[in-house]
Amino acid sequence: MKSFFRRLRYNRLASTFTILATLSVGILIGSVVAHGVHGQEAKSTSKIDTSDAVPLKIPAPKDLSTDFTRIAKEVGPAVVNISTVQLPKNPTHSFNSGPFGQQGPDNGEDNGPNNFQDFFRHFFGTPQFGGQDDTSQERESLGSGFIVDPRGYILTNYHVIEKADKIWVRLSTDPDNGFMQGRPATVVGYDKATDIAVLKIKTDKPLPTVEMGNSDGAQVGDWVIAIGSPYTLSQTVTAGIISAKNRTNPGIAGQYQHFIQTDAAINPGNSGGPLVNMAGQVIGMNTAIYTESGSFAGIGFAMPSNTIVDVYNDLIGPEHKVVRGSIGITFQENLPSAVAHVYGFTNGVLVSSVQPGFAADKAGIKAGDIIVSVDGKPIKDGNDLVNNISARKPGSTIQLGYIRNGQHQTATVTIGDRSKMLEALNNGQGGGNGPSEGGGTENAQAKLGISVSDLPQGAPAGMHGVLIQHVKPGSFADEIGLSEGWVIVAINRHIVNNVNDFRAVVAGLKSGDDVAFQLVDPQDPTGGSRYVGGTLP
């Protein structure tokens, strides 16, 4: 038995040594073979005969020109690079927000200040690309522009040169060596409402210019190219199509922003550059992008050329400013459908307030009226009203069609100067009258999700209604946008003077009813009414 185990142990050891020996030989052979291969590769560079190899040749260039190539060559020389410097200043900030967000005053046809930054990203080309406005340090910005007059007149965006202390323009023929800033430019005029500015540079010879086109002829699906200086890269050309027309700003209430939407790549620094059609004509000015990252995301916006031409012609005039018409009302864009249903209209503009002493007031227009036509032409919405009225000269007259208490009426209105009416609105003052006593609203809390009280002591003169004290999270009131601190002056066109009136109206509401609230901000009683609404669950 012992001899059996001894033989077994011997055989196992012998097998182990045999396997190890075999592996060692394999490794050794692999090393020798690999060494042989490397040796062969090393020798190949000096031993192989390449006398039969034919040298490569650079062929004569082929003309592969396309419409894009032709347009870039034609338009490119008239596209300029604009750089600015803003010297350090004491920081000043001004904000105007309320329970419903940005709610700037309205002169009748402009439903708020031009505050693109709330929704769109302007693209200055600063290192921060739209970061915080720090005026304690010198700031540099970059944009684009295009020459429209051989004597040196240039169009660009106002936001490119806004607050600039020094402005330089570099032509396509100027050295691009990183040292030359360009030619000094002066501001001829600007229009904040459309974000358009006109610059002038001195020149001793005629400069190349672009050809302006008619933006009304542009169609969705048309090819377009954008030329500019994204991220300081001058004379950059990108191509795309027109994605949409008449795009308005959905984030704020600016009324002059009927953009051409395009998917041609535009980025910080493109701002102010031209959007060109396949005829080589400028049909827009690249103005803004829709993005969450600060860079191009497939949606860019250009101000239509027809607007640009009108503004340019005013800015080069003797007064160097744009004069727009106004009738002196305020209105609210994007009304909830429930509000329109309660007030009985599908197309038109619901007047929020009328500026005392100005055009609409003199013609007898009142808050709550619904403007439906101008000179017999139907008014679809606030944009239609803005376009129609603002294009008219102060002193001219119109026939304004409106609905009051379900009755169609007309009034002759003399157009006023928008800038003067806006100034009057900004300087408007509210009064104050006697206070009311507070009261409970348990039914409203259960049905609507709000509690209200009578107006407190010190309420503005002439103001009536109930003050919203509390809004229950997740309630009907919360979902439609009612906020604490606002005053309800009417519900479904029923005037609310106090809590008793409020209770009476609420008691008649039932599930499935459309409910429209007319509201006033007690801190801005002359700012006009706001309307919110929805269908009661």
Same domain for 214 and 110, yes or no, is: yes
Which range marks the domain in which residue 393 is found?
325-426
Mean pLDDT value across the chain:
78
pLDDT of residue 109: 42
Any domain includes 53: no
Q: Please indicate, yes or no, if residue 171 is contained in any of the structural domains.
A: yes
Asked if residue 449 and residue 369 are part of one domain, the reply reads: no
Q: 446 and 385 share a domain? A: no
CA-CA distance, 282 to 276, in Å (whole number)?
Answer: 4
- What is the amino acid identity at position 49? D
pTM: 0.63
Q: Which pLDDT score, from 0 to 100, does residue 78 have?
A: 95
Phi–psi pair at 184, nearest 5 degrees: -60, 140
Identify the residue with better confidence: 391 or 134. 391
Residue 41 falls within a domain, yes or no?
A: no
Q: At 446, is the pLDDT very low, low, confident or very high (cuts 50, 70, 90)?
A: confident
397-404 and 370-374 strand pairing: antiparallel
What residues are annotated to the active site? 159, 195, 271
Render pLDDT for 60-99 as a digit per residue (tens, 0 to 9): 988 777 889 999 999 999 999 998 888 776 544 433 333 3
Lowest mean pLDDT of 74-78, 236-240, 426-430, name the range: 426-430
Query: Is 40 part of any domain?
Result: no
Residue 16 forms part of a structural domain? no
CA distance 271 to 48: 59
pLDDT of 439 strictly over 50: no
State how far the Cα of 148 lies from the Cα of 315, in Å rounded to an integer.
13
- Note whether residue 337 is domain-resident: yes
Residue 503 three-state SS: helix
Residues 308 and 399 grouped into a single domain: no
pLDDT of residue 142: 83
For residues 83 and 191, membership in a common domain is answered with: yes
306 and 359 in a single domain? The answer is no
Residue 290 has pLDDT above 80, yes or no: no
**How much of the chain, in percent, has pLDDT values that exceed 90?**
39
Confidence at residue 190, expressed as pLDDT on a 0 to 100 scale: 94
Indicate if 189 and 253 belong to the same structural domain: yes
pLDDT recorded at residue 344: 83
Kindly state the average pLDDT of the residues 122-141.
49
Residue 29 lies in a domain: no
**400 in the same domain as 341:** yes
Last residue in a domain, options 426, 454, 475? 426
Task: Give me the CATH number covering residue 291.
Answer: 2.40.10.120
Q: Mind giving me the DSSP string for 113-128?
A: ---GGGTSB-----TT
Q: 139 and 252 share a domain? A: yes
The CATH number for 339's domain is 2.30.42.10
Instruction: State pLDDT tens for residues 44-56.
Output: 556 888 889 999 9
Last residue of a domain, one of 400, 426, 452: 426
5 domain-assigned: no
Q: Note whether 189 and 41 are within 8 A (CB).
A: no
End position of a domain, from candidates 367, 394, 426: 426
For residues 414 and 481, membership in a common domain is answered with: no
Whether 345 shows a pLDDT value over 90: the answer reads no
Percent of the chain with pLDDT over 70: 74
Q: Which tens digit of pLDDT belongs to each residue from 30-41? A: 434 444 444 445
* Closest C-alpha to 527, from 115, 98, 97, 106: 106
Whether 284 and 389 map to the same domain: the answer is no
Q: Do residues 171 and 157 make contact, with C-beta atoms less than 8 angstroms apart?
A: no
Which is it for strands 236-247 and 259-262: parallel, antiparallel or unpaired?
Answer: antiparallel
| Number of domains into which the chain is organized | 3
Shared domain check, 485 and 522:
yes
Cα-based angle 526, 531, 534 (whole degrees, multiple of 5): 165
